[in-house]
Amino acid sequence: MLEFTDVHVRYGHVEALRGVSLRVERGEIVALLGNNGAGKSTTLCAASALVPLSKGTISFDGEPLPDKPWDVVRGGLVHVPEGRRVFSTLTVLENLQLGGFACQDKASVSRRIDGVFDLLPLLAKRRGQQGGTLSGGEQQLVAIGRALVAGPRVLMLDEPSMGLAPLMVAAVMDVVRRINAEGTTVLLVEQNARAALGITHRGYVLENGVVTLSGPASVLAEDPRVVEAYLGS
């Protein structure tokens, strides 16, 4: 459904992605693992057209991706950027409404917001509260909920576990699993390999801008190289 073929991205002279090829099939959760600076976030930014490709192609549903970020969102590929980026002075509800900005149909936006409140009852309780007053984990849920309001067919999450307490990491991963169970395809970028491999079907390991390992999550979790580098024995 989402396919990267030999994708290169450069920031000036630095080549952040050096020929990434990977694919995400309909209905899957796919993990993209790797250390700091491996190119995980750049991979997502390339797909959401926030950074230009210097070589290679990304196709979505068999079509080449549009080259403007707003057209990508409209097409149903939605990116939750790293660091949550919740508007701290807007309420939870207003943050969610932003997610529906690209959608002209008000009725379906409010239907999706209700759907988010069903999925994340905690947010329904906090709907009138300002984003900045929420805990980190709650803000992450707002960021995910906001992306869901955009009506994604593929959701790309950039390190949703970052800076969260272990219990909250588990809760966020559970939410991602439920979102997937309701039919949304997910591409999950994580440093927390253990948490990510617990819910994903397949995974890719990115090192220095290239994919070095890939396979079913259960196989990756056993692979000695992954265990050594990311999981610890």
Which H or E element spans position 155?
A: strand 154-158
Interacting stretch for another protein, rule CB under 8 A, among 3-11, 69-77, 178-186, 202-210? 69-77
Q: Which tokens is 226 given?
A: 């992954």
Determine the Cα–Cα distance for residues 185 and 146; give it in Å rounded to an integer.
16
CA 179 remoteness from chain centre:
12
Determine the Cα–Cα distance for residues 118 and 20; give it in Å rounded to an integer.
37
Determine the Cα–Cα distance for residues 58 and 75; give it in Å rounded to an integer.
14
Residues 24, 73, 142, 221: which binds another protein (CB under 8 A)? 73
Considering the complex, what minimum distance in angstroms separates the CB of residue 65 from another protein? Answer: 14
Considering the complex, what minimum distance in angstroms separates the CB of residue 174 from another protein? Answer: 20
CA 140 remoteness from chain centre:
11
Binding to another protein by residue 170, rule CB under 8 A? no
Considering the complex, what minimum distance in angstroms separates the CB of residue 73 from another protein? Answer: 3
Q: Restricting to residues 85-114, which ones interact with another protein according to CB under 8 A?
A: 85, 87-90, 98-99, 101-102
Q: Which tokens is 95 given?
A: 């943050």
Considering the complex, what minimum distance in angstroms separates the CB of residue 185 from another protein? Answer: 18
Residues 184, 192, 200, 214: which binds another protein (CB under 8 A)? 192
Give 27 or 163: the residue with its C-beta nearer to another protein. Answer: 163
Binding to another protein by residue 74, rule CB under 8 A? yes
Considering the complex, what minimum distance in angstroms separates the CB of residue 54 from another protein? Answer: 19
Give 56 or 76: the residue with its C-beta nearer to another protein. Answer: 76
Q: Work out the angle at residue 94's Cα, subtended by the Cα atoms of residues 168 and 82, and round it to the nearest 5 degrees.
A: 45
What phi and psi, each to the nearest 5 degrees, are found at residue 223? Answer: -60, 125
Neighbours of 13 (CB within 10 A): 5
CA 96 vs CA 49, 108, 123, 180, 227: distances in Å: 22, 13, 10, 19, 38
Q: Restricting to residues 136-165, which ones interact with another protein according to CB under 8 A?
A: 146-147, 150, 162-163
Contact residues toward another protein (CB under 8 A) are 36, 48, 50, 68-70, 73-74, 78-85, 87-90, 98-99, 101-102, 132, 146-147, 150, 162-163, 191-194, 230-232
